[in-house]
Amino acid sequence: MKPIQTEKAPAAIGPYSQAIDSGAGIVFVSGQLPIDPATGAFPEGGVKEQTRQSLTNAKAILEAAGLSLANVVKTTVFLADMGDFGAMNEVYAEFFKAPFPARSAVAVKTLPKGALVEIECIAAKDFSGSIRLI
């Protein structure tokens, strides 16, 4: 396993890596809170702005691994309020193009630092169709 680290995304706020390259062609990006790495704060506004920042952070981490959002095969979106699903989805659609990654979206009681959204993803390094055992 190889940790992925970039200053273009917020540092981990606990004992975990921003991402891990599994060594088997898969990169696991930890849940990204909507923290602006330049300011250490959430962007002003609501769930749309926070979704945009979370995905921007994930994109920066993927780029540090030599990948892009086009390599993402699965995302998980954690929302503090499922009533924000539509607004989150609107911004999410700006970042991903067809074929879209598989996705789960769940409402949780609370998120770290009072965030409205947190997004994690799994990316594949190649799409050769070959099966890899991990």
Tens of pLDDT along 14-56?
A: 899 999 999 999 999 999 999 999 999 999 999 999 999 999 9
Confidence of residue 13 (pLDDT cuts 50, 70, 90): confident
Which are the contacts of 129, defined by CB distance < 8 A and separation ≥ 6? none
In angstroms, the CA 6 to CA 116 distance is 23
In angstroms, the CA 103 to CA 36 distance is 24
Q: Which two tokens stand for residue 70?
A: 């086009």
Full-model pTM:
0.92
In angstroms, the CA 69 to CA 97 distance is 9
What value, to the nearest 5°, has the Cα angle with vertex 45 and ends 6 and 60? 15
In angstroms, the CA 69 to CA 85 distance is 20
**Which CATH architecture does the domain made up of 2-124 adopt?**
2-Layer Sandwich (3.30)
Confidence of residue 88 (pLDDT cuts 50, 70, 90): very high
Domain chopping of the chain, boundaries: 2-124
What's the whole-number mean pLDDT along residues 86-103? 97
pLDDT at site 28: 98
In sign, the C-alpha dihedral spanning 104, 105, 109, 110 is positive
In angstroms, the CA 118 to CA 99 distance is 22
